[in-house]
Amino acid sequence: MNLKIAILAGDGIGPEVTHEAVNILQAVAEAGGHDFTFTEALLGGVAITAKGTPLPQETIDIALDSDAVLLGAVGDNKFNALSPDKRPESGLLQIRQILGGFANLRPSVAYPALSENSPLRPEVTKGVDILFVRELLGGLYFGQPRSWNKDASAPGGGEAINTMRYTRDEVVRVARIAFELAGKRRKKLTSVDKANVLECSQLWRATVDSLKSDYPDITVEHQLVDSMAMHLMNVPRNFDVVLTENLFGDILSDESGIITGSLGMLPSATIGGKVNLYEPVHGSAPDIAGTGKANPLGAILTAAMVLRHSANLEQEALAIEAAVQQVLTAGHRTADIARGNISATVTTQQMGKLVHSALAESIDRSQSLHAV
């Protein structure tokens, strides 16, 4: 297997966690005789500092010439005075648009070893395994017109406009991915909207319903977003694949960090475009950058998604996920998931090495079994 991976480590803790994810991918490549090529490029605040723009053309070229893009995190408070289109985050929105991925996959898994990290009772989170499928290129984040009239003397003291817009085709393409993924899991799809008040959501619901006959083995239910926010905390085991529009998916998938115990545990993949884009859900956390406190597990689990969705290496992806579970079960914790157990706290680099060792042991056992 040959795979070209663009590495956009970004800002804050991005380079630290991405480094650990790349180490894991290299271990998989070496063990399996694969040829993974890693090419680094600038995105976000580091790109503004070096190139004067959050997304240089060189980065675009490298990304489009790759089989997958692995991103760390984007954002730095020192750029907050810039206009929104020049801030680090605008580079992230631009690269998403350029790569064309419209389906953002965000798994939320309740790890037994972290049951005490969630404020939810263990009996509520036990066995939870949810896959959010978030539409990523439409809705309020991209709809036009959008504007902000800052003139305080204007009627009403100024005005700001954002537009939520969807076409049927945009809903169809992301819904089909959700249906197909549900077919590979527990065959249940929950579609989230606000159809009682929003025309966009009425279109969304009608479109999802129109596709049900193409997937007769999938059970489909609809939830209003406010009800879903409550049910996600009360009965998360009721959900398997959750399909949402852009804004609702952003909020709900972040909320699901309560289930896992930390946003630092959440990976994501954006698929459906020219090149798949992979990134942990957490932000750049500039306040802890360089301190060794960052949790690399979200990035490492994101590396597993690279193997699953861009390399079709399902067994290797499962091996990485099992290694993460093994390390957590052994009691190792980064600061965000330590829950006061300081003696169990390890640094970003140490956690990466622990997962690497667990993965290597798993690979050795597997190779020994194949040799028998």
pLDDT in tens, 328-372: 999 999 999 997 666 679 999 999 999 999 999 877 766 543 443
**What residue type is 255 in one-letter code?**
E
| CA 260/CA 237 separation, integer angstroms | 13
Note the pLDDT of residue 124. Answer: 95
DSSP 345: B
Note the pLDDT of residue 370. Answer: 44
How many CA atoms, within 13 angstroms, populate the side-chain half-sphere of residue 68? Answer: 27
Q: Say yes or no: do domains 1-117+261-372 and 119-260 share a fold.
A: yes
Note the pLDDT of residue 242. Answer: 98
Note the pLDDT of residue 371. Answer: 42
The CATH number of the structural domain formed by 1-117+261-372 is 3.40.718.10
Known catalytic residues are 141, 194, 226, 250, 254
Note the pLDDT of residue 263. Answer: 87
Q: In the chain, what are the domain boundaries?
A: 1-117+261-372, 119-260
Question: Measuring CA to CA, which residue among 246, 229, 218 is closest to residue 106?
Answer: 246
Note the pLDDT of residue 368. Answer: 46
Q: What is the Cα 138 distance to its own chain's centre?
A: 17
What phi and psi, each to the nearest 5 degrees, are found at residue 82? Answer: -75, 160
- Counting as low any pLDDT under 70, the low residues of the chain are 340-343, 365-372
Contact residues for 233 (Cβ-Cβ < 8 A; gap 6+): 120, 124, 255, 258
CATH: 3.30.2270.10, 3.40.50.360, 3.40.718.10, 3.40.350.10. Which one for 119-260? 3.40.718.10
6 to each of 3, 41, 112, 201, how far by Cα in Å? 10, 7, 33, 36
β-strands 103-109, 35-40: how paired?
A: unpaired
Tokens of 121: 């009772």
Note the pLDDT of residue 320. Answer: 97
74 to each of 108, 144, 153, 263, 279, how far by Cα in Å? 21, 24, 35, 15, 10
Q: Give pTM, 2 decimals.
A: 0.91
